[in-house]
Structures are given as structure tokens and as C-alpha cells.
Amino acid sequence: MHYHRPATFEDAVALATGSEGVTRFLAGGTDVLVQMRADIVTPDTLIDIKAIPGTHEIARQEDGGWRIGVAVTGAEMREHAELGRDWPGLVEAMDLIGSTQVQGRATLTGNLCNASPAADSVPAMIAAGVTATITGPGGTRTVPVEEIPAGPGKTTLARGEIITALHVPPRGTEGGDAYLRFIPRTEMDIAVVGCGVNLTVEGDTITHARMALGAVAPTAVLVHAAEDALVGRTLDEDALTALADLAEASCNPIDDKRGTIKFRTHVAGVLARRTAKIAFDRAKGAAK
Amino acid sequence: MSKLHVTTKINGDEVEFLCDPRETLLDVLRDRLGLTGAKEGCGTGDCGACSVTVDGRLVCSCLMLGAEAEGKEIATVEGIAEGEALHPLQKKFIEYAALQCGICTPGILVAAKNLLEKNPDPTEEQVRYWLAGNLCRCTGYDKIIRAVMDTAAEMREAS
């Protein structure tokens, strides 16, 4: 295995494009190293992107949004008070992953590219409307994060393509997000169901809504119909019931030791309600 | 396959080593540098027995390559005591019998020390969550938590 530590993304792309066999990019390594040890993946080329300038930065953008570098760890996000005020759901989703030790290394971009259907940060990112800038042999493009996972362990990134940054939209004055997951214990487990909700309000009226579910389909699911179901109304019992029904209808889960299809589907509805309530309260609180 | 040359700092000392690109930091510490305090429990980042800090950040050394240590400052359990003088955490672990077989202890000491440096006055809940990635199959955790809480109290009084 060849280990490289390029100083620019262009060099990283050139290395990935020019190498033969299996190539992996290395950020926090909390999935890649486990896969290497278990002989699930045996890279011929490993490209460590952490020496590239800017990859460790959380930067406020001119429009009020955020640029999150691809090597920023969960611990660094958790310690960033301003990011947490804007996007508490996104930060909490990332913070739910693994232990203190894992938080010291794990990254949002890594969680996205590992493409686990149960990745905690992914539904929160989709709900928040996060986009990813991708550089590759064919140039640079920016896509919504929901377009990156293609199925368990698979992404839509072409050979030689690498995510260079994640972009979180401006929070605005009256918005709130939340992420909840169900696990059978309190810590250190993989989501049976995860749910991210992001709402914007004017007074009591919802003006923008996005909901995404994790661990109930081969990829995280953006529930498109949630927007229509919530916009223009307040978060009353009818709205919550409609949202829970939409969540259940969006599920296409597997039966496994973590939960049955029936259980996961039911929990998706329950979490949709609870998560939406938190996001709504946060949006109203932000409005003051 | 040629080996990589890495220069790093471990417990304050400049260290150079050659390693295979696939070797983890844990492999390097134990097999190349003779620092066998960090233990391999699971090798997949679940048990925390290999905990070290890298630039002050708590990590599992089994989930990091030796090559990634280039230019970093690593701290292991071997650096916790000052010569023969044990760190307050180590004294409390003995006083409370917060260990039995001892495999998890180096990782827990490194993790607990890192917590107290960031938060000298943690709640019991904060200690339990902080140490959730350090598995112990002997003690049932209670003595560990009490030892950490008492150390924190003593260090606050001393400062």
C-alpha cells in the first residue's frame, strides 16, 4: 500500500486518477482503518487529505452559511459554539457517533462517504440542505449531499473525485433543526432509525420544511412530501400526524437484529413527531 | 515496499521511526518503540484500551496510522507519572481499587486525564459519557467513576 499526503486537492485528484487498483481517501479513518483491518478493503493507494490547507476549518461565509472542511472532527464541531447555535441538530447528529475517541477523529465528510444507511450525520445534513463541492478529473461541481450515497458502502462519486468541502446554508433568523435516533441503549450504538428535521417559521407558520430519515432504506431518504405537508400551517396535532404518516410511508427498511421492518417503520413515525417538535421549538425560540 | 520515515514527539521526547504504511500508531508504539502501555483490545475503535492523545485530542491509536503521527505531539500512559511520582488519578485508582485485570486501565487513565484537563469539575454523568468508549469487563465501572470524581475534587482543592 502506498501512503500519500498531498498538499492540494489537485494533487489528491491526480494521485487518485493515476493510481491502479483500490484507492481510498483518508480523513479521520474511523471507518477506513476498521475496513482495512477486517480485510474488507485493501487499498493499494491511501491518500491522506489532512495536510491540505483549509481542511480543518469551520468558516462562516459571507452569506451567513458555513463552510466545513473535510477533515473537521466531530469534537471540533461540538466545541464550535456559533455553529452549534445555528445548527444544533446537525452538530448533535455528528456528536452521537461513537465515543469521545471516535469524535476526536471522525468527520462529517467521512460519515457521508462511508455511505452507511444508518449514518447519523447524513439525515441531519440532508434536512439542513447541506451541499458538497466535489473536485475530480472532469472539474468541480456542487451537489446536495443526498445525491452522494448510492447504497450501503457505495457513493455516486466517480473514480478520482473527492469532496473538497461541505456547505451549510445560512440559518436565517427564524429557523431550527433537530436530529433524533433510536438505539436500544444510551450511547455507542448504530441507529435503528434516525430522523432529521429542519424548519423555518414566521410566527407560528412554517415557511420551509425538510425531513430526512436514516436506517430505513438503502440510503438516507429525503421525505419530499414533508415540505408540502407542513408549509403554510403551524405544527399542530394534524400536522404532526401527517408528518408521521409520511415518515412511515417513506420507509423501505430491512429486518435485522437491530429491528424488524414493522418496528423501524413505526419508530420512524414516532421520531418524525418528536424531532419536528424540537425543530419547531428551536425555530420559534430563535425568532424570540 | 519501502518504509516511511516519521518524526514525531511522544511524551515530550522527539522520536523518529520507520514504519510500514499499513501499521497503526498502536502497532508502532508497542512493537517499534516499546511503549506497551496502550493495549490492543478490539483493534476497531470500540474498546478504548489503546487511547492516547494526539495534539491534546483523545483518540484510539488503533484507528490511526503510524504515518499520521508525523509532526504531531502524542501522549501515552507512560507520560502520566513524573518519574516515580504517580499522577493523582493513578493514586486514586489504586486507593479505590478501580482496576482488576488492568487491560483497560492505561486507556482509562489517558481518557480521564484528558477530560480533567478540559473540564476540572465534571458531573458524574459527564464522566460516564466521556468514558463510554472505554470498556472495562471487571469493575462494573463504579469504582472507576468514583476514583475520577474524587481525583477531580482533590485536584480542584490543590489548585
**Which chain A residues are Cβ-neighbours of B28 within 8 angstroms?**
none
The DSSP element (H or E) to which B146 belongs, if any, is helix B142-158
Mean pLDDT of A73-87: 97
Is A35's pLDDT higher than 70? yes
CA dist., res. A129 & res. A196, Å (int): 11
Mean pLDDT of A216-243: 97
**Which chain A residues are Cβ-neighbours of B62 within 8 angstroms?**
33, 37
Mean pLDDT of A224-230: 97
Is A288's pLDDT higher than 50? no
- Residue B44 touches chain A, beta carbons under 8 Å: yes
The residue of chain A with its CA nearest to that of B132 is A99
Could you count the other beta carbons within 10 Å of the beta carbon of residue B96?
19
Mean pLDDT of A52-79: 98
The bridge status of strand A2-4 relative to strand A66-69 is unpaired
A34/B133 Cβ within 8 A:
no
- Cα angle B126, A215, A175 (rounded to 5 degrees) comes to 65
Is B124's pLDDT higher than 90? yes
ipTM of the complex: 0.97
Is A5's pLDDT higher than 70? yes
The bridge status of strand A193-202 relative to strand A205-214 is antiparallel
Partners of A66 in beta bridges: A60, A168
Nearest by Cα to A44 from A17, A28, A24: A24
Residue by residue, what is the 3-state secondary structure of chain A?
A: CEEECCCCHHHHHHHHHHCCCCEEEECCCCCHHHHHHCCCCCCCEEEECCCCCCCCCEEECCCCCEEEECCCEHHHHHCCHHHHHHCHHHHHHHHCCCCHHHHCCCEHHHHHHHCCCCCCHHHHHHHHCCEEEEEECCEEEEEEHHHCEEECCEECCCCCCEEEEEEECCCCCCEEEEEEEECCCCCCCCCCEEEEEEEEEECCEEEEEEEEEECCCCCCEECCHHHHHHCCCCCCHHHHHHHHHHHHHCCCCCCECCECHHHHHHHHHHHHHHHHHHHHHHHHHHHC
- 3-class DSSP state for residue B22? coil
Mean pLDDT of A132-151: 97
CA dist., res. A54 & res. B17, Å (int): 28
Which residues neighbour A2 within 8 Å (Cβ) at sequence distance 6 or greater? A19, A44, A45, A46, B21
The residue of chain A with its CA nearest to that of B130 is A100
Portion of chain A with pLDDT greater than 70, in percent:
99
Partners of B7 in beta bridges: B16
Is B1's pLDDT higher than 80? no
DSSP state of B63: G
- Residue A185 touches chain B, beta carbons under 8 Å: no
Mean pLDDT of B101-126: 98
Angle of helix A261-287 versus helix A237-249 axis, rounded to 10: 140
Give the best residue of B23, B26, B39, B63 to mutate against chain A (max A CB count within 10 A). B63
pLDDT digits (tens, 9 = 90+) for B129-138: 999 999 999 9
Mean pLDDT of A66-86: 98
CA dist., res. B125 & res. B127, Å (int): 5
- Residue A185 confidence (pLDDT): 87
Size of interface A-B (CB pairs under 8 A): 83
A99 phi and psi, to 5 degrees? -95, 180
Average pLDDT of chain A to the nearest whole number:
96
Torsion angle in degrees (nearest 10) through CA of B92, B96, B101, B106: -20
pLDDT digits (tens, 9 = 90+) for A84-141: 999 999 999 999 999 999 999 999 999 999 999 999 999 999 999 999 999 999 999 9
Partners of B4 in beta bridges: B19
Provide the grid cell at A33. Answer: 482503518
A101/B111 Cβ within 8 A:
yes
How far B115 CA sits from the closest chain A CA (Å)?
Answer: 10
